[in-house]
Structures are given as C-alpha cells and as structure tokens.
A and B are shown apart, each in its own frame.
Chain A
Amino acid sequence: MNVEELIGVTLRQAAPLMLVAYGGLFSYHVGVINIAMEAEMLAGAFAGLTITAWTGNLLLGLLGAVISAMLIGATFALLTEGLKAHLVTSALGLNTLTIALTRLLMWVVTGSRGAFVPQSLPILPRLQIPIFKAVPVLQAFSGHSILVYGAWLAWVFTTLWLYHTPLGLRIRAVGENPEAARAIGLSIQRIRVVAQLLCAILCGLGGAQLSLGDLRLFTSGMTAGKGFIALAAIYFGRGRPVFTTLACLLFGFFDGLQSRLQLWINVPPQLAQMIPFLTVVAVLVFVSWRDVRKGARA
C-alpha cells in the first residue's frame, strides 16, 4: 500500500476517536470516568444517520446527533450527580440501554433489525485543499469529510477551552481538588454537569462521523468499543490533549492497518481486530509501570 492511502485511512479512522476523546477530556479533567461515551457515540451515530436520511438535511442530522448524545449525557449527569449513582455501573447500564434502544428505534423507523442502509443520503461535504492536491504525500490530507477536519479543530478548541478560559480552569480545579474548588465558592455539581454536556456534544459528532462521514450506514452496536478506545487514548496521555491526539492517531492507524492487512497478507481478521484493544492494554500498563518506577526513584 502506498503512503497516501495509509495516511488517508489513518485520518479517517482516527477522526471519530479524536472527537470522542476530546469530549472525554472535559470529563477526565472534571474528575469523571466517563464510560457512557460509548453510548453517547452510538446515539450520535444512529440519530445522525436516521435524521439525515429522513429529512435530507445534513445540518439537522448533525444537530440530532448532538442532541441525542446530550440527552444521554444529561441522563448520566442526573444519575451520577443528582442521584449519586456509581459512575461505572450507571454508564454501563446506559450503554446496554442505548444499544437496545437504537436497535428498537431502527426497527420502528425502518423495519430492519440488523442494519440501516439508506437508499439516498446527502453526502457530508468533502474538503478539497487545492495546494495539497498536487503534492505527492500531502494530497492524503485533502478530500476528507468536513468532520475529519472538524476533529482537528476540536483539538484546538478543546485545548484552548480547557487551558485558557475561566470555565476550563474551573473544570480542572474541580477535577484536581474538589474540596478546594468548593472552598472558593464553585458549584462542583454544576461544573461537572456542564463538562459532561460538553463531552456529549463531541461524542455525538464522533458518532455522526462514524455513520454519516465514513460508512454511510448504521448497524446495531456499530461503535463496537470505539468509545472505550477513545477513553483509553485519554488515559494514555494522562489527559494531555497532545498525547491523546497521538494515541488516537495510533489506534486509528492500527484500525486502518487491520482492514488493509487482510487484503495483502492472509492475517485472520480476528487477530487483526484484537490489535487496537491489546495496544490499549499494553500502553496503559507501560505508562503506569513507568510512573511507578519514576515514583520509586524520586
């Protein structure tokens, strides 16, 4: 395979991960382990595709993706902040619920139980970059759906918001030291809820990129752990946007590689599909092992 193809497929596979991971950074920094990102992403993927196919309007579809993800985010916030439910179990419950609910809704809307492939679907605009198109390697960066570029914008936006705005400062303050944040008069609950909703917005867009931008169909449970991989990308970078981005690109690369590997050499698909999940575990263990060693030396 050539370099352009590899770069292109990496960018496309990484984009949904990036969007979700940047959303997750808000949760991470406010001190919430957000496993519900998987559910938010799935809801975004379903609502984005279905509403776009139904109305023929991409903007409405994207809006629907964001709103449906925010509904789940709001439920998650209500459960964990309002009713003091456990972060992990309530999120796992929402994941189960969302998989079933999207399947049920898919059946209600289309009568189909496995997949929804709309016959006509407006195409997410592709951004052509004229200067890049003529250059050999750089041309791989041109011609992707706008959400792929949106993912990179989201990087800038998230970094600025988290590190250079008062709200970002408050979010990080609540995450790092809730007691101190409370002492200076911040409403911890309100900030947590705001961070959760910001997270959901990006998760919804990530899901929409998956169904609308890339595959142009919806299958039940199509996120297949991508929300968890995004979460791992955050852990990989200890919540730092740069490293989170690198991790997303790495996982995107492996994801792209595994689909290509099967075409060139005869690697069993199951072994290739394991790669991103094994990478996550290996990276997590390595990062923590390094931290422990550093701690021991200091």
Chain B
Amino acid sequence: MGNWKRSLITEFIRIGLLLAIAFLITGLIISFTGENPFTVFKILVTTAFGSRAGLAETLAAATPLIFTGLAIAVAFKAGLFNVGVEGSLYLGAFGAAWVGFTWLHLPGWMLVFLAILVAGIAGGLWALGPGIVKVRYNVDEIVTTLMLNYVAIYLTTYLVTYIYGVPGLANAMSFPIASAARLPRLAPPSQLNLGFVFALIASFTLWFVFRRTAFGYEVRMLGSNPLCVKWSGMPDKKIAVKAMFLSGFLGGIAGAVQILGIHYRFIANFSPGYGYTGIAVALLARNNPLGVLFSALLLGAIYNGESLIELMTAIPMEVPRIFEGIIIALTSAELVVQLWVWRRKAKTQESKR
C-alpha cells in the first residue's frame, strides 16, 4: 500500500509540474500577443467550472475526448502506436449518421444502438488493416495509421459531397438523422448529452477489462513484455490485432456520439482533432481508463473556454491548441521529479533506451 501511495504522489507531482510548464509557456505566448495571460486563464477557468451551465458544457466537450483517450490508451497498453483514432472517428461518425438517416422507421433506442454498433465496427475495421499488416509484415503502424487519417477525412468528405450529401451547401454535410436517433440532452441548453454517460460506462468497463479479464491481462502483458508473451505461447499477434480493433471501435464510437448527440448529421471535417487530443488525454492519464476521465475533463475545459476567450479578448482560438501541443510534447518527458525517481532506480539497473 505504501508503494501505491508513493506512486500516486509522484503522479500528482508529475501532472502538476507538467501543467505548470504548459501554463507558463502558454502564458508567455499570450503576453507576447499583448493580452494579459492571467485574464485569459481566469476566463478559461470561470467558463469551464464557474457555473452549472459551464460545467455541463465542459462535460460535453470532454465526452468525445474520453472515447478517443480510451481508444488510444487501449492501443498504447498493447504497445501499439495507433495514431489513427482520428480516422476511425470519421468513419464511425459517418457510419452512425448513415444508420440515422437510412433507417428512419426504426424505434429510437434501436437506432441509437445500431448507429453506435455500426460506428464501432466501421472504426474498428479501419484500424484493423494497419494492425494486421503490422503483425504479419511488420509494417510500422505509426506511419500507416497517420496516412489513413487523411484518407478517412477525404473519403467521408467525398461521401457527403457526392453521394449522401445535401446538394447546394457550401459546407458538405449529410442528410439529417432521424430525430428519434438523437441522444437526449441532459442539461439543456448545454450540449451535454447521454453520450457522456456512455463515456463513463466505457471507462469503467475498460478499467474492469484491464483489471479482471484474461484479455485485459494479455494486452497489458503484450505492452509491457512482448517477448514474454511470445515465448509463453500466448497468441501475441491475435492479441495485438484484437487490441487494434478495440482501439478503432472506441474511436468510432467517439464519432458516433458527436453525431448522435450534437451535430445530428455528418459534417465534413467536423472534428477539430479529437483523435490527436486523445493522445494527450491517454498520455496524461498514463493509459489508465479511469485517469482518462480526469484528463479528458481537463482538456475539455480548455476546449470549452476557447470560444469565449476569442469573444472576450482579441486572441484567436489557438491558445488551447498551443496548450494541448505542449502537453502532448511533454507528457512522456522525464521531468525533474521523474529524473529524481529514475536516478534512484538507475543505480541498480542501467536504463535502456
């Protein structure tokens, strides 16, 4: 138990330090543009947590990030660098919209269920390809998944421009989904919807899967010691492919939730990079499904504040992005605390690189 406590404390210090550095650099950049960074940060915090409506909006912004964060955490746990969650998200979003505008006569709960299922499968299949060629031919999954993100964005844009699109609109979008397929809003007028509850369920389920099931154990083993998995006779390739599918599946659901809960139709290029922000979410949480909830909340708060920052100050919406970029860049860095901890470890074993 003592060990557990100490690691929790180190985690808090790590995250605190990380946020402090990110705020410091972002603050410097803000002051460079002639604004007062403290005013900006104050706006950010009060919009995100200052009122019930603001808090609801923050939770709404966190919803897709929880899913993409989980998606990436699953892959990372298995030692796979799936940076293609953005692609799965687009495919899933389109799949969900397709169900929503095709089967208009189905009852609402069934539409929602089907839409989410189709979205998950579409996203999962999208990630499956890179997973299979990775285990069979050792094709670097980082490059393939990254490339396929672009393909997914162009493909879905094509679909809603030429086949399922509403003609005559400047911004390509699909037909609207059946109103029965809309996820109920939990705290109107905010955009918080039932998707957030789904995200909570997904987090806890995944936490359970990693803690208590054979599959979760296999995935964790594969990530921490692939050779051990291989030599102990576990089907390492199958596990990797399954993890990749699950990762894409969750990414697909992230897209579905945005369509069913917020946009009510597929809009080309609708994602501001949820799939990439998911990397920051997963890394901040060290791939812990429950930790993902908190890191998604943090980044959701920043996203939520961005429009108001633009409204109340002269700064464009880039500040949250800058903050996010710094966090992604720094999360895996050994900051001072870690250096100190690592050094004590390194005395006994030469750290490998």
Measured in the bound complex, the distance between the Cα atoms of B333 and A91 in whole Å is 12
Q: Are A85 and B333 in contact (CB under 8 A)?
A: yes
Closest residue of chain A to B282, judged by CB? A89
Does A6 lie at the interface of the complex (its beta carbon under 8 Å from any beta carbon of B)? no
Bound Cα distance A277, B146 (Å): 9
Q: B155 to chain A: which residues have CB within 8 Å?
A: 270, 274
State how many residues of chain B have any CB contact under 8 Å with chain A: 49
Tell me if B139 and A284 are in contact (CB < 8 A): yes
A35 CA / B144 CA spacing, docked (Å): 13
Would you list which residues of chain A between 78 and 113 have a CB under 8 Å from chain B?
Answer: 79, 83-86, 88-101, 103-104, 107-108, 113
Instruction: Determine if A94 and B143 form an interchain contact, defined as CB atoms under 8 angstroms apart.
Output: no
- CB under 8 Å from chain B, chain A span 268-285: 268, 270-271, 273-274, 277-278, 280-281, 284-285
- A257 interface hit (Cβ, 8 Å): no
Q: Residue among B137, B161, B316, B353 with the most chain A CB within 10 A?
A: B137
Q: Is A33 an interface residue (CB 8 A)?
A: yes
What band does the interface of chain A fall in when counting residues whose beta carbon is under 8 Å from B? Answer: 35 or more
- In the docked arrangement, what's the CA distance between A113 and B328, Å? 24
Give the residues in chain B near A231, CB-CB below 8 Å.
Answer: 143
The residue in chain B whose Cβ has the minimal distance to the Cβ of A231 is B143
Given A85-B330, A100-B322: A292 and B154 within 8 A (CB)? Answer: no
Instruction: Tell me whether A93 and B327 are in contact (CB under 8 A).
Output: yes
| Contact code string B139-155 (vs A, CB < 8 Å = 1, else 0) | 11011101110110011
Smallest CB–CB gap between B215 and chain A, Å? 25
Q: Decide yes or no whether B227 CB sits under 8 A from chain A.
A: no
Give every chain A residue within 8 A of B319 (Cβ-Cβ).
Answer: 100, 104
Chain A residues near B148 (CB-CB < 8 A): 277, 281
Q: What mask results when residues 325 to 348 of chain B are scored 1 for a CB within 8 Å of chain A, else 0? A: 111111111110000000000000
Q: CA A274 – CA B146 in complex, angstroms?
A: 13
Closest to B153 in A: A270
Q: Are B143 and A96 in contact (CB under 8 A)?
A: no
Residues of chain B in range 296-353 having any CB-CB distance to chain A below 8 Å: 315-316, 318-319, 321-322, 324-335, 353
Shortest beta-carbon distance, B300 to chain A, in Å? 16
The B interface is mostly helix, strand or loop, or mixed, namely helix
B316–A104 contact, CB under 8 A? yes
| Contact status of A89 and B138, CB under 8 A, knowing A104-B318, A281-B147 | no
CA distance A89 to B334 in the complex (A): 13
Q: Judging by beta carbons under 8 Å apart, are A292 and B138 in contact?
A: yes
- A residues in contact with B241, CB < 8 Å: none
A96 touches B330 (CB 8 A): no
| Chain B contacts for A235, CB-based, 8 A | 140, 143
Measured between beta carbons, the chain B residues less than 8 angstroms from A107 are: 316, 318
Additional 14 contacts, C-beta under 8 A, given A89-B328, A89-B331: A85-B330, A97-B322, A99-B321, A101-B322, A103-B318, A103-B321, A104-B315, A225-B147, A228-B147, A232-B143, A268-B158, A284-B140, A285-B144, A288-B137
A-B contact pairs, 18 of them (CB 8 A): A75-B329, A83-B330, A84-B353, A85-B334, A88-B83, A90-B328, A90-B333, A93-B327, A96-B273, A103-B316, A103-B318, A108-B32, A225-B147, A231-B143, A232-B147, A274-B150, A284-B144, A288-B137
Q: Tell me the B residues contacting A by CB distance below 8 Å.
A: 29, 32-33, 81, 83, 133, 136-140, 142-144, 146-148, 150-151, 154-155, 157-158, 161-162, 273, 276, 279-280, 283, 315-316, 318-319, 321-322, 324-335, 353
